[in-house]
Amino acid sequence: MTGTEYAVLLLRLAAPLQSWGGPSRYNRRETRPQPTKSGVLGLLAAAEGRDRAASIADLVGLRLGVRVDQPGSLLRDYHTYSDYRGVPLLSAKTNAKGQQTRTTPAKYTGVTQRFYLQDAVFVAALHGPKPLVAGLEKAVRHPVHPLSLGRRSCPPTGPVSLGLWSGTGLEDALKEVPWQAGEHRRRQVRDATVSLEATVEDPAGDHLAVDVPDTYDLKTGTTFGRRAVRHLWITVPTGHAEPPQSARDTGPTGQSGHDPFALLGW
């Protein structure tokens, strides 16, 4: 729209556990390695106090960029469940009336698996009209509903908002944010800069992400649309002084200082 002023909302998404679900359902719920657009928009909708059936068309129009400051590791939560009344569990089959039938032979205990990212830190950037993102930034600082990172059991650690950036490019915004990794990760990196994986929403992108929600209405269910994205690496300062050339060439034991797993967070 002509004359519209744009800005970028910056968020720090960090928690002991996060889970950004994809298409998985039922008794095996997986997580994607980065926050999804559906999950981030859900956080914003909760912050504003939107009803589940309320329109999210304005939020869907925001462009999303994500930077992986600390990839974390995958955690599998395995547990069993049963009906508190002691009756057999429902099966996947239905009767002529469309009602689920009980398991035959009767089963009283089921198994479920949930996957999480533990000890991960991300920076999310949302580009859109400045009045909209400014209102969202205020809502994130004073949320109506509790905020969560993918699931209700995953509350964020510390303040979520990193404020507004007045520029217009997602990539430029992600380059400006200081490194958000935890102290233990910072101790692992000795160089003056670190390369971080990032994904930005780009109409000219050569990859597709299927994570654009049409609604959060529990009665109708959510259908996920596609968006084009682009993957890249962003170099940011670590705050460490540049080590001498000799220290960069060899490690503390005299071996080569090259670490092929450094970008994986190992």
The structure tokens 């939560």 sit at: 77
pLDDT score recorded for residue 164: 96
- Tally the domains of the chain: 1
Amino acid at 50: R
Is 133 a member of any domain?
yes
Is 141 a member of any domain?
yes
pLDDT score recorded for residue 261: 65
Is 146 a member of any domain?
yes
Is 1 a member of any domain?
no
Backbone CA torsion sign across 44, 48, 51, 57: negative
Residue-level pLDDT, tens digit, the chain, 266 residues: 457 899 999 999 999 999 998 666 667 888 999 999 999 999 999 999 999 999 999 999 999 999 999 999 999 998 888 888 888 888 878 888 888 888 888 888 888 889 999 999 999 999 999 999 999 999 999 999 999 999 999 999 989 999 999 877 899 999 999 999 999 999 999 899 999 999 999 999 999 999 999 999 888 888 899 999 999 999 999 988 876 665 555 554 444 456 666 656 56
pLDDT score recorded for residue 259: 64
The structure tokens 């999804």 sit at: 36
Q: Is 103 helix (H, G, I), strand (E, B) or coil?
A: coil
CATH code for position 165: 3.30.70.2660
Is 115 a member of any domain?
yes
Pairing of strands 63-70, 110-129: antiparallel
Tokens of 209: 């992400």
Distance CA 242, CA 247 (A): 10
pTM of the model: 0.83
Q: State which residues form the domain around 114.
A: 6-264
Question: How many helices (H) and strands (E) would you count in the chain?
Answer: 6, 11
Angle (deg, nearest 10), helices 130-141 and 37-48: 70
φ, ψ of residue 19 in degrees (nearest 5): -150, 115
pLDDT score recorded for residue 254: 44
The answer to whether the beta carbons of residues 143 and 45 sit under 8 Å apart is no
Tokens of 120: 């991960």
Is 244 a member of any domain?
yes
Closest CA to 9 of 33, 38, 39, 41: 41
Q: Which residues contact 131 (CB under 8 A, 6 or more apart)?
A: none
Task: Tabulate helix, strand, coil % of the chain (nearest 5).
Answer: 20, 35, 45
